[in-house]
Structure 1
């Protein structure tokens, strides 16, 4: 692992020497070429200095100074010495900082500008563009500037950073008069406007700094947050810098140092990003993350701690700190403007001032560390609180920093932490707040190691710490009766937990060992046991938490990768779980974990899939059930229930029996009675016409069901999958069966690819019509050719293809990177070498696909070694590359 050192004091490139003064008539072509060359030389010298380790802030200031010289030179060439007009730098340029590709923002104040002066200004700005500067400019009269500033807080804010580059010095006072006017945006109004702007800006980024492709400038915890603090400090407290804010008591020394260090990281990343992208890019896109990690000296430690993950962890830690302190300092500004409230006692140690909680004794946290946790418990018991007083927040931070991880070994602190966890769902909000104050990582040091830790894939949308807290919040939703409609099983289970703290502990530890190398579930189990022992939990409670951490992926992998309609699969799962209590806890953890991994992962299909496994496992765990229901008994039960459904529709028993005589027993083993009834009804209504295509928009497990009843032929599966891909449907499960008379009885469960929702009625009908038309053609439909998304192309992995014997069939496992048309491509590879598909399990995890097929040759025999090799090569040609492993 490479640690990036603090920027070294590298000599900065000298300021540019400008060409000789030119007449006011403008900048001649030769001088323009010289200025263009000069700016290029400056940028190349600065890039070299950055590569050698120079400080990004110093380099951005040097570029700002260099560009300012050029801008002043061009202004003089186009306008000369003028009165009644002045040129001001605004934005980042006004703050004296220009990153490699930043825009040059300019404001001209001009009193009654006549046409000749306007033409000169147009010439000035055109020249600046011509020599390679990306200029944003505005020309305003003073009265107009004042009017706009009064209407728009953003315009007013831009003037706070303005400084005059050239022109009439008298306009300095005019601009200062606008900025310093107490009637323009008084403190309360300005604070409200800036907080509203912050909230709207953060909402565009899902209110989190933990996006996979975060915005360095405008995202939560980005550089804009630090700028906003300075603007608020200047307007509300006449303290425009972090040091000034410390002097005014708005920051303590440690906070100022932390913010300065975080700002150094963010500026360094932004400088490198501009160089890497070659344009004013502010997003840490996947396109650049690996290159930036290399540019900044990060190296892979091992397969589970990549250099790019370390690089992104540096960003997330800096942004998280800026976001946390930014929110707290904003609260201090709010408190500063509020009228003080009378004190109301809250227990022996705390006191309430209006909507904020404070400590009675300023030294309480130092004298009794457990009070650090207790104040968060006290907040739960006080309705209407919005937080702590500014002084109390500061003391929480100071005491947490001083005590450090010693809190994790303090019996009283751990006892208080356990009391908090025993509150169940309400404790989750307290844990979120503790994390914002840095306290959770002190009480639980292992949590600090995953703070800001990303996983470089498309499956895990959040960093490990953010994901963990979202999992806890999802658990808390199960305690809310209003969530019963969306999570009926979870809401039924949660109130039955006598010890909800065990569920919260399992959530806290389930991913806590990510990034260390090795199996994070095994390592996390060890951590969970050790911490639960510190909490002095009973052995049986420790065992439950440890088991949940160790097997937290068991239920999701069983449901998504195995056939849960197979009683043997359910029984193996039930045997591993052991009892109803573990099953209940595992179900809650599994659902909360999936939702907390990515908002796109949870859908009605997975909801029903897990619910079915949960229900089947509870049945298998009944004390009077020792063995799975025998296959023949399950077939008989399914036939009886389906028959009753069809008789209720008015169908005759003889007609039903005629259809079922052609159905294999596997139909009744693999399908629900409702599906059998629906398929049977469709066949009878078709009166022998084939191919028969039926689409049930909302069928089992919240999916759309496609039923294909046709003369079986090679290429049928390939045509169906190709059409589904063309119409943007995702296949989540496929059952490929053959009737006694050689007809295909194929069932596909589908979701819309874009929304992961079932199809609408019009879409279902469109699918039926188009597939009916396609199957009427003798030739298979070719897969569509579509380009891979920008995201997916950065997460390519060599496909892994494995063959295993499975009785009279061969099992094929295909693990690879997802891409448009993958299943259709695999189906055509099988068609190419004469392989038939009899069953398919389709699972997608972010950018990773894990598909399992049961296949045979054209004679329904298992594949020979030679046939497996031919299929392997065909699959590699269509879905993989030469680096694949078999």
Structure 2
């Protein structure tokens, strides 16, 4: 057992002699008190900085004494039964709330023996130990181990706690039997388990709430490597794997350091949660960061972000080495095939690439990049040999600090980028070896860097690589149906390395403080010079990094049906090639930030902005001559659409006389034609509620045509909330004859997809019935999700006057039913809504409204202050218990 030290809690003192009469009630209470004292002492020791592994071992040693004591009290000195610890307890590690897994191996489990075992396990529960146990005879144990790899694996860590020593040999004989999970079969089973487990976590360690134990790069990965070492190489731990040639000393040290970090974090997580929690939930991240001494540096480098970066870096190290070591086990069991030459420096063994000269990377560092190029150029390769992966890692670590300034390395890197889309896979693999960060040190600074919000669901480095992969998808004909315009734009770009570099640098300055776009622009320009890019390409990359958010913010926050908005955007873009690059980068960035952010509405929105800007960039294109001309053009196109459907032009003209000019300025001709047809076919029946399931921009369009009245916007948004629709855009207009002509673009709240015909019919009927009644519609009361509760901010509300209205910008935390709640406040404050643009970024909402008072005048200072106060009270931060 671990020897006691002044910094560790002492081992529990238990009676030396134990009568076989069970454990009395007083003794059970004493053991419970002892365990409570032990756990409190361990928690204090952890706060004082005692190593988590030492404390986990001390807890295991203490629990071992207690379990053995209870076994002896209940069963006495037996000759045909023994108690084994398995799982983490078998390995001699118990975290504050770890499971205590026990196996009772009994030669003849008769009734009296089973009663004694039941008493033993019940006593352990009474003392406060939450044990999981199994009772088997050796034959049962052997049969189960042969049938299930997981059972066999648990036996690899079995450690006898008490009972007959002879059963040690019986158990050992089961494990060591040649027919019991031969190496090939066991390796295949473990790799299948790994793949299935990782698939549950999106095959990445970079989740916002990662699982410390079972996620990719978690502690289970380290356990699996040890199990493989035991079964396949008779190596019980990582130092033994170094002796067997499966690890080099540096890799061993890296694994042990990463393991120490993960164990420390797991220990803190158990203490923070007060239960056996293995997920780093938002509920605990800030508390653990504070517990471990992380402090905010500035608003863009929070203590919790530094804490999580420590996790991601450790998990990434474990995940990368875990893959390499698994490959080494595969090669150990599969002799290499005949060698084939690949150029002067490389050879291939079947589907794996290797180096001719073991010292190649040290002699010629550019070969570190060249081997990834060779892998792209050679058909049928699936990777490198395990020895080559090790040499890449060793050379990268040794040459780190020199690769970034090696002209030949940079020349090879540029050659790789000029492969275009296929280069992305190589960049992804280079990152796994740490080579990308060695060539591009700024990328190493964002390795494992998280952003503490719900908008960015991956770390900066993982997000960047996903953006690159998304860019590469646009070169794949198989994605034509999903990204038709992007696939059309990609072949028009003459130099793919420009876009790849822009994607690589667009977020590279995150976490430094300041504007990451401008800081990244400087980095991109400096690296472009080091690469020897033409000056035009350097400026193009730098521009894309500087303005990589421009297209997204313009599309989502401004009215892109306004030619002035489009021309201002076109003036900044300046050219069609740059427009195409920015369009592709914008799509890739949104999807790479969070898969949930991309939907048909944003797809169509960005495509519309791209198309209108491309037209505006034509040399002969000029801004529209005025609102009247724009409205006239819209009317002409809409009339042509209606004429093709047989509608009477005279009836259309009479109806349009009652439309406000804003209808023709703010809607597309297709919308005007549809709304007109619905009104004409309605034959004057009001309220008129029309729903087009798939309308403009990949959304469902709702058109409300009713006698105008105050509170209409609040009623409609309340019903939409009840029906679980998200409002992407709202246009609230009033006709000269007193009709409300309100248009809402919607998506299903749960799926972010347009409504089905059945849902569209439900919306039409429910809203028609509701608006036919004078009673107000109240939004449902919704509880806030666990995630959103941790990202509450004080609303930021700004007012400006323009064009006879008050423009209100609202930036606040998202919550269920937010728009409906805002609409209720606006109604209560006697404010009318004339336009609304809705944008949600993770947990943050950025909405823009055009408002007036009940007399259609801009809001005065007093009314603005009243509205500000009411909004803060209604949608401000809520307590976590709310």
- Say whether 1:578 aligns with 2:568: no
Aligned to 1:187: 183
Q: Within 5 A, what are the aligned runs for 1:678-693?
A: 678-693=674-689
Q: Within 5 A, what are the aligned runs for 1:614-629?
A: 614-628=610-624
Which string of whole-angstrom CA distances, capped at 9 and with x for unpartnered residues, describes residues 253-285 of structure 1?
A: 000000000000000000000000000000000
Q: Is the 8 A contact 1:18 1:35 kept in 2?
A: no
Aligned to 2:234: 238
User: Matched residues in 2 for 1:603 and 1:175: separation?
Assistant: 57
Aligned to 2:770: 774
- Say whether 1:209 aligns with 2:192: no
User: Matched residues in 1 for 2:382 and 2:563: separation?
Assistant: 52
Q: Given the alignment, which residue of 811, 816, 837 partners 1:815?
A: 811
Aligned to 2:632: 636
Which string of whole-angstrom CA distances, capped at 9 and with x for unpartnered residues, describes residues 135-181 of structure 1?
A: 01001111111111111100000000001111111111110011111
- Say whether 1:322 aligns with 2:335: no
Q: Is the 8 A contact 2:792 2:878 kept in 1?
A: no
User: Matched residues in 1 for 2:739 and 2:116: separation?
Assistant: 83
Q: Given the alignment, which residue of 859, 864, 869 partners 2:865?
A: 869
Which string of whole-angstrom CA distances, capped at 9 and with x for unpartnered residues, describes residues 116-135 of structure 1?
A: 11111111111111111110
Offset of 1:341 from its aligned partner? 1.1
Aligned to 2:726: 730
Q: Given the alignment, which residue of 438, 450, 468 partners 1:442?
A: 438
Gaps of 5+ in 1: 1-8
Q: Is the 8 A contact 1:479 1:495 kept in 2?
A: yes
Gaps of 5+ in 2: none
Report the CA distance shift for 1:101/1:170 in structure 2 as closer, same or farther (over 3 A).
Answer: same
- Say whether 1:452 aligns with 2:429: no
Aligned to 2:408: 412
Aligned to 2:493: 497
- Say whether 1:426 aligns with 2:422: yes
Which string of whole-angstrom CA distances, capped at 9 and with x for unpartnered residues, describes residues 73-111 of structure 1?
A: 111111111122111000000000000001100001112
Offset of 1:691 from its aligned partner? 1.0
Q: Given the alignment, which residue of 263, 276, 279 partners 2:275?
A: 279
**SS state at 2:400 partner:** helix
Q: Given the alignment, which residue of 539, 546, 549 partners 1:550?
A: 546
**SS state at 1:791 partner:** helix
Aligned to 2:788: 792
Question: RMSD between aligned alpha carbons?
Answer: 1.2
Offset of 1:675 from its aligned partner? 1.1
**SS state at 2:341 partner:** strand
Q: Within 5 A, what are the aligned runs for 1:843-858?
A: 843-858=839-854
**SS state at 2:97 partner:** coil
How high is the TM-score relative to the length of structure 2? 0.98
Offset of 1:673 from its aligned partner? 1.4
Offset of 1:882 from its aligned partner? 11
Q: Given the alignment, which residue of 525, 530, 535 partners 2:531?
A: 535
Which string of whole-angstrom CA distances, capped at 9 and with x for unpartnered residues, describes residues 221-252 of structure 1?
A: 00000000000011001002000000000000
Q: Is the 8 A contact 1:620 1:628 kept in 2?
A: no
Which string of whole-angstrom CA distances, capped at 9 and with x for unpartnered residues, describes residues 283-316 of structure 1?
A: 0000000000000000000000000000000000
User: Matched residues in 1 for 2:77 and 2:18: separation?
Assistant: 13
User: Matched residues in 2 for 1:326 and 1:428: separation?
Assistant: 22
Report the CA distance shift for 1:21/1:719 in structure 2 as closer, same or farther (over 3 A).
Answer: farther
Q: Given the alignment, which residue of 558, 562, 568 partners 1:562?
A: 558
**SS state at 1:348 partner:** coil
User: Matched residues in 2 for 1:441 and 1:423: separation?
Assistant: 20
Aligned to 1:219: 215
Question: Is 515-524 or 824-833 further displaced after alignment?
Answer: 824-833
User: Matched residues in 2 for 1:838 and 1:20: separation?
Assistant: 84
Which string of whole-angstrom CA distances, capped at 9 and with x for unpartnered residues, describes residues 32-57 of structure 1?
A: 00000001111111111110000100
Q: Given the alignment, which residue of 814, 827, 831 partners 1:831?
A: 827
Offset of 1:339 from its aligned partner? 2.1
**SS state at 1:815 partner:** strand
Q: Is the 8 A contact 1:695 1:768 kept in 2?
A: yes
Q: Within 5 A, what are the aligned runs for 1:115-264?
A: 115-264=111-260
**SS state at 2:224 partner:** helix
User: Matched residues in 2 for 1:543 and 1:489: separation?
Assistant: 25
User: Matched residues in 1 for 2:205 and 2:314: separation?
Assistant: 10
User: Matched residues in 2 for 1:882 and 1:29: separation?
Assistant: 47
**SS state at 2:335 partner:** coil
User: Matched residues in 2 for 1:226 and 1:20: separation?
Assistant: 37
Q: Is the 8 A contact 1:10 1:49 kept in 2?
A: no
Which string of whole-angstrom CA distances, capped at 9 and with x for unpartnered residues, describes residues 808-835 of structure 1?
A: 1000111000001111111111111110
Question: Is 772-781 or 808-817 further displaced after alignment?
Answer: 772-781
Aligned to 2:22: 26
Aligned to 1:38: 34
Question: Is 17-26 or 66-75 further displaced after alignment?
Answer: 17-26
- Say whether 1:611 aligns with 2:610: no
Aligned to 2:65: 69
Offset of 1:881 from its aligned partner? 5.7
Q: Given the alignment, which residue of 738, 758, 763 partners 1:742?
A: 738
User: Matched residues in 1 for 2:802 and 2:123: separation?
Assistant: 75
Q: Given the alignment, which residue of 591, 594, 597 partners 1:595?
A: 591
User: Matched residues in 2 for 1:602 and 1:445: separation?
Assistant: 31
Q: Is the 8 A contact 2:85 2:159 kept in 1?
A: yes
Offset of 1:779 from its aligned partner? 2.6
Offset of 1:204 from its aligned partner? 0.1
Q: Is the 8 A contact 2:789 2:878 kept in 1?
A: no
User: Matched residues in 1 for 2:503 and 2:677: separation?
Assistant: 47
User: Matched residues in 2 for 1:629 and 1:490: separation?
Assistant: 31
Q: Is the 8 A contact 1:19 1:35 kept in 2?
A: no
Offset of 1:112 from its aligned partner? 2.4
User: Matched residues in 2 for 1:873 and 1:349: separation?
Assistant: 71
Q: Is the 8 A contact 1:459 1:847 kept in 2?
A: yes
Offset of 1:393 from its aligned partner? 1.1
Which string of whole-angstrom CA distances, capped at 9 and with x for unpartnered residues, describes residues 329-378 of structure 1?
A: 00010011112211111000111111111111111111111001000001
User: Matched residues in 2 for 1:698 and 1:244: separation?
Assistant: 63
Aligned to 1:349: 345
Q: Within 5 A, what are the aligned runs for 1:84-95?
A: 84-95=80-91
Q: Given the alignment, which residue of 71, 75, 78 partners 1:79?
A: 75
Q: Is the 8 A contact 2:792 2:877 kept in 1?
A: no
- Say whether 1:390 aligns with 2:386: yes
Q: Given the alignment, which residue of 518, 523, 532 partners 1:522?
A: 518
User: Matched residues in 1 for 2:312 and 2:191: separation?
Assistant: 22
Which string of whole-angstrom CA distances, capped at 9 and with x for unpartnered residues, describes residues 195-233 of structure 1?
A: 000000000000000000000000000000000000001
Aligned to 2:12: 16
User: Matched residues in 2 for 1:389 and 1:868: separation?
Assistant: 68
Q: Is the 8 A contact 1:10 1:52 kept in 2?
A: no
- Say whether 1:303 aligns with 2:303: no
Aligned to 1:463: 459
Which string of whole-angstrom CA distances, capped at 9 and with x for unpartnered residues, describes residues 580-630 of structure 1?
A: 011011001000000000010000000000000000100111100132353
Question: Is 391-400 or 196-205 further displaced after alignment?
Answer: 391-400
Q: Is the 8 A contact 1:21 1:77 kept in 2?
A: no
Question: Is 71-80 or 650-659 further displaced after alignment?
Answer: 650-659
Aligned to 1:3: none
Q: Is the 8 A contact 1:726 1:783 kept in 2?
A: yes
**SS state at 1:397 partner:** helix
User: Matched residues in 1 for 2:810 and 2:478: separation?
Assistant: 41
Offset of 1:22 from its aligned partner? 4.4
Q: Within 5 A, what are the aligned runs for 1:463-482?
A: 463-482=459-478
User: Matched residues in 2 for 1:680 and 1:767: separation?
Assistant: 20
User: Matched residues in 2 for 1:341 and 1:629: separation?
Assistant: 73
Offset of 1:20 from its aligned partner? 6.2
User: Matched residues in 2 for 1:731 and 1:157: separation?
Assistant: 52
Q: Is the 8 A contact 2:218 2:318 kept in 1?
A: yes
Which string of whole-angstrom CA distances, capped at 9 and with x for unpartnered residues, describes residues 449-478 of structure 1?
A: 000000000000000000000000000000
